Structure formats: C-alpha cells, structure tokens
C-alpha cells in the first residue's frame, strides 16, 4: 500500500523568512535612491546660488561704483595705456597749476614764430643759410627748458647761497650746442665744478664785444679748440652732465665787454635771438 505525499497548506519556516527579508530590503533600497537624488539636487542649488550671489553682493556693494576707463591724454593712438577719468581730471588740473611745478624749477615755455624751416633744414643738412648779423639761441627750438634762471640761489650741490651766473637749459644728453654768434674760441678747459667748457669772444658789426660760455660738456664731445674761428650757428659741442650737475643740461653764460656775467635769457630776448634754421623760412 503506497503512501500518498500530503502537502502542508501552511508556508514553511524558510518561505516565511525569505518573504520577510525581501519585503524589508525593498523599501530601504528605494529610500536610499531617493535620498541620493535629493542630496544631488541640494548641492546643485547651493552652487547655483553661490555663483550668482557672490559676484553681485561680494564685489559691488552699496557704496561702490564702477567706472569705465578713459584714454590717457598724451598717449599715441597705437599705445594701450588707460587711466581712470579721475586721474585724467587731476592731471589736467595739475597742468594748469603753478604750484604743481617743482619750486626748484622755473619753466620757460618756448614761443616759436610758426614758420617752417626749408627742406634742407628739415633734412638735417648743414648748408642752411646763416646770417652773420643774427644772434642765435645755443640749443635748437623745442629741445630744452630753462630750469634755473640768472639769480641768487642755494646751490643744489654745495647748499650755499651764491649767484647763479647763467641759465640752466635742461635737455637730452648729446643735444647739439650752437655758437650764438661768430667769434674766436678763447678757452676750452675742464674742472670739477664746470665740467668741460667752451668760451667764445664775439665782436659785433658795431664793434661791441661780448662773450658766451657753454658749461657741463664732456671734453670728447667738444668740436673746437682755442684759437679757432667759429661762425654763427656752428655746432661747438653737445649737452653733457659733467661737473656740478644734477642732470643733463647746458649752463649758458653771457658776459659783457668787461667779461662780467649778465642775464643771458633777458639779453637773448633783447637782441632778438633766433633758433638755428629758423631764418631759413623768412
């Protein structure tokens, strides 16, 4: 007699534990996935808020303003030089202020007659018409400014009050120096105070005598010797920075017939001195 296998209608212990584990793990996995998505969304939201808020609130405050740059005056069109509008305004104000200039410098603006030199002069040739009766400035037009006039002053070197017996004409090193009038070279020398110098004796057409002196040169730049006869406008040397000098300049002197120093600037204006080459356009 065979025995029939009777199946129990109730679930086994293994089946009960298996369903329990499955039911418990499914909500945890779903909850973990949702949590990760919420975290990512939160991080993105924080980054977006930071990117927008920091530039707006961190760099431009209630008391701040933004100025567009203005082109600096005096800069060529090809240069990329910029400054703020405030700096430009301050610069313009200083240009018109007498007190803005250094008190140790007396600026003497040059007044030109407006005529243009001839083609020969513009080309730099030496064969420019020279009038022997003319008196010339010792430096070309536009190459200098008078930084110290003829007066009593405190020497910038010795610190002592003494007479400044000429005018200082500041200009680029090596700028040509012209004889103010025809004459004879009576001195070419050098000392620790004046540097290398040239002194010329001049006799005008009316027989009057005066002397001109050109100081602070370098000896190897001087183009004349004692006893040489020079013509009006002839190049005799170049601007130096030799001796008691605080920068490249010509110390220029004019002496009267008694070889006593007089005010060179006033004298040049009084006699109607012109610039070398200027007479070529008259």
Q: What is the three-class DSSP state of 258?
A: coil
* Higher pLDDT, residue 224 or 47: 224
* Higher pLDDT, residue 90 or 187: 187
57, pLDDT greater than 50: no
The mean pLDDT value for 3-31 works out to 54
Q: What is the mean pLDDT of the chain?
A: 72
Rounded-to-integer distance, Cα 46 and Cα 59, Å:
19
Every domain of the chain and the residues it spans: 95-281
The mean pLDDT value for 87-113 works out to 39
pLDDT at 157: 87
Q: List the Cα angle 32/33/39 in 5-degree steps.
A: 90
pLDDT at 75: 32
pLDDT at 131: 80
- Look-up: residue for tokens 């703020």? 84
153 closest CA partner among 104, 99, 213, 108: 104
Q: Residue 116: pLDDT band by 50, 70, 90 thresholds?
A: very low
Provide the whole-model pTM.
Answer: 0.57
Give the length of the chain: 282
Percent of the chain at pLDDT > 90 equals 49
15, pLDDT greater than 50: yes
pLDDT at 252: 99
Rounded-to-integer distance, Cα 234 and Cα 126, Å:
9
The mean pLDDT value for 39-63 works out to 47
CATH 2.70.70.10 at 95-281, yes or no = yes
pLDDT at 5: 52
What H or E segment, with its residue span, contains residue 151? strand 151-154
263, pLDDT greater than 80: yes
The mean pLDDT value for 221-225 works out to 98
The mean pLDDT value for 115-126 works out to 41
pLDDT at 40: 62
- The answer to whether 163 touches 152, Cβ cutoff 8 Å, is yes
Kindly report, residue by residue over 177-202, the tens digit of the pLDDT: 999 999 999 999 999 999 999 999 99
Q: Residue 41: pLDDT band by 50, 70, 90 thresholds?
A: low
pLDDT at 45: 54
pLDDT at 130: 72
């Amino acid at each position: 007699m065979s025995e029939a296998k009777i199946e129990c209608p109730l679930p086994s212990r293994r089946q009960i534990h298996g369903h329990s584990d499955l039911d418990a793990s499914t909500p945890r996995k779903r909850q973990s996935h949702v949590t990760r998505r919420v975290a990512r969304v939160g991080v993105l939201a924080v980054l977006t808020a930071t990117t927008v808020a920091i530039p707006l609130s961190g760099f431009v405050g209630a008391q701040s303003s933004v100025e567009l740059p203005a082109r600096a005056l005096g800069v060529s069109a090809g240069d990329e030089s910029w400054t703020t509008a405030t700096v430009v305004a301050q610069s313009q104000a200083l240009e018109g202020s007498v007190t803005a200039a250094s008190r140790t410098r007396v600026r003497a603006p040059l007044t030109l007659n407006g005529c243009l030199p001839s083609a020969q002069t513009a080309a730099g040739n030496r064969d420019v018409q020279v009038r022997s009766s003319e008196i010339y400035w010792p430096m070309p037009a536009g190459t200098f400014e008078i930084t110290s006039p003829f007066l009593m002053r405190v020497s910038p070197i010795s610190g002592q009050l003494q007479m400044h017996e000429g005018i200082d004409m500041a200009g680029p090193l090596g700028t040509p120096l012209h004889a103010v009038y025809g004459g004879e070279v009576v001195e070419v020398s050098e000392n620790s105070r004046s540097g290398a110098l040239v002194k010329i004796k001049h006799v005008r057409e009316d027989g009057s005598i005066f002397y001109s002196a050109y100081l602070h040169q370098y000896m190897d730049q001087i183009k004349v010797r004692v006893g040489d006869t020079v013509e009006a406008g002839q190049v005799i040397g170049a601007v130096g920075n030799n001796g008691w000098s605080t920068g490249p300049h010509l110390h220029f002197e004019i002496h009267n017939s008694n070889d006593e120093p007089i005010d060179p600037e006033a004298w040049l204006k009084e006699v109607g001195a012109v610039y070398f080459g200027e007479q070529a356009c008259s």
